[in-house]
Every structure is written in structure tokens, then in C-alpha cells.
Amino acid sequence: MPTDVASFSPDMHIHNRASPFDCCSINTNEFSCFHPVRSIASSTPMAGLVLFLLLSLPLSATLGTTHRIRATAEGSSFSSLLVLGDSMFDTGNNNYIPTYFLANHLPYGRDLDGGNATGRFSNGLLVPDFLVSALGIKQRSPPFLDPTLSNADMLTGVNFASAGSGFDDVTTVLSGVIPISKQLEMFRAYLAKLELIAGKEEATKIINSALILISEGTNDFILNYYDLQTRKVQYTMEQYQEFILQKTRDAIEELYHLGGRRFAVVGLPPLGCVPVQITIDLENFKRACIAEENFDTFAYNAKLQELLFEMRPSLPEGRIAYIDVLLPLLDMVTWPQKYGFEVTNKGCCATGLVEAGLLCNSLSTSCPDASKYVYFDSIHPTEKAYRVIAKQILDEVVPQLY
């Protein structure tokens, strides 16, 4: 019988609603777990092969044991950092639109500048902030909708990301945030402003040499498929993955047409380990990661990597790389002691089980030390977790784009 294969640490609990996993020890660092019901590999041979190769590596081998971000400005050829995405990357755009997906209140930002709620969904800085600083471009990634943006900010890159957004426009119908289609419109508006500031020729050079980050998809699957199930009545999981992948292709091709040449595309995080997803599974008394959702995530990310590889010939002047956030976050959840974490299955804010956005507020009693938590609220990682991810991007992804 075909099986799905995954590697987990011996002390990681795996919860599966549909069927139990059969696990056996490979060595002191790995378990090999076989799912007797579902078969990713049999339905998508190439994705299954990539998935198997990914999971055959010990998670501990994919990351270094030190997490201090090193400055890499020397020799950096990036003119600017341009960011499209969701709450993982949104540095404050939602502050300027009518939505309830907001983080412009404490305890968000409580460890930033002595307590500065900028709209970032964390206790401090996000991945784009760490990257733009380490690359020597500027200190932080500013939101494009900020009316106080300077010309210098425009020249060195802005952030279009919007918390709660996705590749699928349906994802944002209830929240009123900015989907990728509208972020691309913002990108075009930015390009027009850049041409006014620097001239068309210089603006083209800036866009050509910019590092463009794209992080979408999480809300499409969590909000639109697992929880509200708006798309589940229309698509199977495999069909919806293909739908989102096509949207990904369309976005990259449009950005390339607009002058973008160097792209880094983020895969999905371990959706089954997001605290609120664990909470929604009422039968999950041990608060373990949800196996089905993580397997869906592995399958999607394998397909995304295939897509990016297949697109390279159609982007002759471009470079494109995949950013893996799934394995780093799984590593933090599985071996928290490596990073100094103590709590992995709930957030620091309030109970950590369901609170995010407006429910995570100054009336909430939050943990005293967010650095001991992988997640700050019930959805979003802490600054410390984001720092680990940023270091991995700088060490493993950025060199592919020079």
C-alpha cells in the first residue's frame, strides 16, 4: 500500500484525525512515520519524490545552531527590497485601510523601540526588517501606504504586504484587506512614483536590481479551505493547490513584465502547528500538530518548488529562489531547546489559543518573556522565530540571487 513518509523527532506528538501513524525510530534524531490512508506520492509522482527527498533529511541538518543575523551589506547587489505578502511580511499597511485585521495596538510591538505597535503582527520586527537591515539597504521595511514615506524610502524599496491577504481574492472578501491582485496595482503605482522621483531609466535599474519577496497562501488555505471552507465546496485540496499555484505563476510573470528580475517566493509554514488550528481541532486534547494539514503543506510546497523550477526558462533575465519556512518552524517546534524556546503550541498573548488581531490587546494578560515562545499570538511567530527564518534566508537563499 502506498504511504506518505515524514520525519519527526521522537518527542514530537503527531495527531491525525483520520488514521493513526505507524512510526519507527531511524536514529536518535529521526522517526519515520507512515500514513496508511493518504498518498501524496501516488497522486503526484514528482511532488511525491521531492517531498520524500525533503523529508528524508533530518530537520536538524537543515539549519545552523547559531541564529545571530550577520550583516551582508558588503558586496550586496540589491538596490532595494520590495515585499508582497500577508501578515508574515506586513509592516503596517493595514493601519491605513478599513479592516479589523489590525496589530497597531499593544501588546503587538511591545519589544520594539520600548513598546511601539506599528502594525506588525509580532512582538517586534519581521523577516523583511531583518533582511533589509542585514543587506545594508536601510533599517526597516516601510509600508507603502504610509503617507510619510520619503523619497529615500521609495528609492530603497517599500512593502505592499497586507495581513489577512492571499492569492485568492475570495480570501479577502470578509476582511477587506489587500489581496495580491491589488498589491500588484500598488506595485504599478509605486513604479510610476519611482519614475517621477528618479527618472524612467534609473527607476528601471532600481526595479531590475531589487530583491522581491512574495509570501502568500497561508490565509487561502486556513481561512478559505480548512476553517470557513468557502473553497472546499468547489475544489478538492489538490485542485485548490493548483488554483493557488496558477495565481503564483501569474503574479511572478506580471512582476517580471514590470521589470522585476530577482524573486524569492515563500512556501507555506506548517499549517498544522499553528496554535489556532490546533485549538479548532476539538478532539486534539494533547495540542499536537495536525498531521493532515502538515501533509497538505508539504505537498503544496513541493509543487511550488516544481513550479519555480519550471518557470526559470520563461524568465531569461531573472533569478528565482524558494524560501522554506516550513522546515525551520518545524525544527523550532520539534526541538525548541535548540533555540531556547519553551512553549511551541500556544502563543504568548492572552491564552495563546485563539487570540490574534483585535482579540490580542492591552487588556490581555500576556507572557512575561516572548523569547521563550515560538508564536506570539495564536497565529504569528515571535520576533525571535522570525530572526531564525531571516538568518536562513540570508545564508541559503540570498546567495542564489546574486
Choice among 153, 324, 331, 377 that is catalytic? 377
Superfamily of domain 71-401: SGNH hydrolase (3.40.50.1110)
The answer to whether 257 is a known catalytic residue is no
Of the candidates 217, 230, 376, which has an alpha carbon nearest to the alpha carbon of residue 300? 217
Cβ(123)–Cβ(110) below 8 Å? yes
pLDDT band at 301 (very low <50, low <70, confident <90, very high): very high
pLDDT tens track for 185-214: 999 999 999 999 999 999 999 999 999 999
Cβ(210)–Cβ(130) below 8 Å? no
Q: Does pLDDT of 228 surpass 80? A: yes
pLDDT tens track for 88-103: 999 999 999 999 999 9
pLDDT of residue 76: 62
pLDDT of residue 229: 93
Q: Give the CB-side neighbour count of residue 331, counting CA atoms within 13 A.
A: 21
Domain residue spans of the chain = 71-401
Q: Does pLDDT of 281 surpass 90? A: yes
pLDDT tens track for 2-48: 333 333 333 344 343 333 333 333 333 333 443 333 333 333 333 33
Choice among 79, 153, 331, 380 that is catalytic? 380
Q: What percent of the chain has pLDDT over 90?
A: 80
The answer to whether 395 is a known catalytic residue is no
Choice among 87, 141, 215, 378 that is catalytic? 87
pLDDT tens track for 50-59: 333 333 333 3
pLDDT of residue 28: 33
The answer to whether 67 is a known catalytic residue is no
